[in-house]
Structure 1
Amino acid sequence: MPFFDIPILKLLANTVDILLVWYVIYKLIMVIRGTKAVQLLKGIFVILLVKIISDHLYLKALSWMMEQALTWGFLAIIIIFQPELRRALEQLGRGKLFSRSGTPEEEEQEKVVEAIIKATDYMAKRRIGALISIERETGMSDYIETGIPLDSKISSELLINIFIPNTPLHDGAVIIQKHNVAAAACYLPLSESPFISKELGTRHRAALGISEVTDSVTVVVSEETGSVSLTKNGELHRDLSPEKFKELLRNELLSQTKSKQSSSARWNWRVNKSDR
């Protein structure tokens, strides 16, 4: 008896075959998700639906038109969506097509995190004061309206240029909303907590103030010392090393995969110098 004629092994082989096909389809959907190819798939689905209906209702002319659209449509797809197909083939060649990948939302958030980290590192080394607040669940539209609207794609270069001293937008806070720089030169509420040291500068007070009324994460770069701080939920962590800052920022903004160990990181109120 041939090996694959054994019923259990044949059933197992068929199951594995189906799972692999579904996995390939899933990864292909992840590749085209968020691109214009999604609208194309909807159009193909509509054509197939019309073709099936016309066949059942014996609408020969309409059925012939849909058949021609499907026959020649695939050639048009190859021409029109050549960039997307090339990208998929490149990913396959690099072995990334079937690697674990995030959703477009996660990828956009990752870009935000990387831009902030890069800009913060640059400004900290040169002691360029900065105040960057990232909106999460609680809306910050009221504070965005106090600044200069930008609605620009976020990049480290843009953040650095905003905070260069003596430029029109450097004084105030940048607010990031939905992966974009929503506005610059925004006014944030100063914390009124009686437990804050009087030595704490305006930027840190504003960062603590906004963290007390929203769930935003706010990054502060000290103009005096170049130290980096981060606030969240009325808590302040100062003098962060580059590695610790990256860890905290990633844990907060990429919170879906946050570990318990990272979420229990200590937050303290140690203040060394006054910061503006």
Structure 2
Amino acid sequence: MILLFNIGFLKISWVDIIDITLVSILLYQVYKLMKGSVAVKIFLGFLSLYLIYLVVDASGMELVTTILGQFMEVGVIAAIILFQQEIRKFLLIIGKTTDLNREYIFKGFLWKRNSGDGRNINVNAMIEAVKALGGSNTGALIVLSKTSELKFYAESGDIINAEVSKRLLLAIFNKYSPLHDGAVIIHQGIIKAARCILPVSERDDLPANLGLRHRAAIGMSEMTDTMVLVVSEETGEMSVVRNGMIHKNLSTQELRKKVNAYLFEDKARRRRKAESRDESIPDLLIKEEER
């Protein structure tokens, strides 16, 4: 071990610096995750007690160390209970950003060969339905997913398992329909469920004019690799949300372009790679991307 500093009993090496840096980054990310919520105050209080525990332990105060040590052992379990929503959100973010979540890693396996390319989604029917909903100022929330059926969120609503069609979407979001209040989840051309409950974003930098429907769309896109289509009930404005970013007041052509870019981005990536290697592109792939 290569020492950088040696001040009395304190010895610092490259490993110690890396260790401190990683812990600092982790604590900062956890703080960002809980910023603006009540949980951050509990987290700071728990962290303060832990720092006090380290100080009294290093000072040799056996009685205080024993008391705080017992509290810290129970405190770990208490922290898991208190921060269960934040822990779940943190793990979802990690799972979303890691390469293990990328579907093309598993495309070589038999059970993954035909999934996740968006090929079976009736884009025209979905766009026409959203256009009609916007024209009648009917609020709508549609979640598009390529990599997951989102069973956790689908089970919060009513399971449908029907092919996407314009009339079905219009019937679901009809103001007098019992299914209109909530989100529709679509996976590989199938409406998995309706009246689904989505997580609401807790960001404090969102504009005040965004309603609960738009905040739910942002929250869903932050936690999952999905694209969410939103139709405003007040203005009929069509919006798209992806990775926590919202694109408002879109035309039908812009909406179609963004949906196709999301559904067929893997094909577009392969096409760009093939063009960079001067390889020929199958006509079928080109037609599917242009559709």
Taking structure 2 as the reference length, the TM-score comes to 0.51
- Name which of 233, 237, 258 aligns with 2:247: 237
Instruction: Compute the displacement of 1:105 (Å).
Output: 7.0
Identify the residue that residue 191 of structure 1 maps to in structure 2. 201
Instruction: Compute the displacement of 1:220 (Å).
Output: 0.3
Residues 143 and 229, structure 2, Cα contact 8 Å, conserved in 1: yes
Aligned alpha-carbon RMSD (Å): 2.3
Instruction: Compute the displacement of 1:178 (Å).
Output: 2.8
Tell me, what secondary structure is at the counterpart of 1:184?
strand
Amino acid of the structure 1 residue aligned with 2:186 = I
How far apart, in 1, do the equivalents of 2:118 and 2:268 lie?
17
- Aligned ranges for residues 63-212 of structure 1 at < 5 Å? 109=119, 111-212=121-222
Aligned-pair identity (%)? 37
How far apart, in 2, do the equivalents of 1:250 and 1:237 lie?
15
Judge which range, 246-255 or 105-114, deviates more. Answer: 105-114
How far apart, in 1, do the equivalents of 2:176 and 2:130 lie?
18
How far apart, in 2, do the equivalents of 1:139 and 1:183 lie?
10
How far apart, in 1, do the equivalents of 2:265 and 2:118 lie?
14
How far apart, in 1, do the equivalents of 2:208 and 2:118 lie?
38
Give the aligned length.
158
Q: CA 1:144–1:132 in 2, change beyond 3 Å: closer, same or farther?
A: same
How far apart, in 2, do the equivalents of 1:200 and 1:146 lie?
24
How far apart, in 2, do the equivalents of 1:106 and 1:198 lie?
35
How far apart, in 2, do the equivalents of 1:189 and 1:207 lie?
8
Instruction: Compute the displacement of 1:136 (Å).
Output: 2.1
How far apart, in 2, do the equivalents of 1:107 and 1:140 lie?
16
Instruction: Compute the displacement of 1:113 (Å).
Output: 1.6
Q: CA 1:140–1:161 in 2, change beyond 3 Å: closer, same or farther?
A: same
Tell me, what secondary structure is at the counterpart of 1:256?
helix
How far apart, in 2, do the equivalents of 1:106 and 1:188 lie?
22
Taking structure 1 as the reference length, the TM-score comes to 0.53
Residues 116 and 147, structure 2, Cα contact 8 Å, conserved in 1: no
How far apart, in 2, do the equivalents of 1:150 and 1:108 lie?
19
Amino acid of the structure 2 residue aligned with 1:197 = P
How far apart, in 2, do the equivalents of 1:110 and 1:217 lie?
16
Identify the residue that residue 233 of structure 2 maps to in structure 1. 223
How far apart, in 1, do the equivalents of 2:135 and 2:269 lie?
30
Residues 191 and 208, structure 1, Cα contact 8 Å, conserved in 2: yes
Residues 138 and 214, structure 1, Cα contact 8 Å, conserved in 2: no
How far apart, in 1, do the equivalents of 2:211 and 2:229 lie?
14
Residues 140 and 183, structure 2, Cα contact 8 Å, conserved in 1: yes
Q: CA 1:107–1:211 in 2, change beyond 3 Å: closer, same or farther?
A: closer
Q: CA 1:165–1:137 in 2, change beyond 3 Å: closer, same or farther?
A: same
- Aligned ranges for residues 39-50 of structure 1 at < 5 Å? none
Instruction: Compute the displacement of 1:138 (Å).
Output: 4.4
Unaligned runs of 5+ in 2: 1-112, 271-291
How far apart, in 2, do the equivalents of 1:134 and 1:147 lie?
16
Structure of greater Rg: 1
Instruction: Compute the displacement of 1:140 (Å).
Output: 1.3
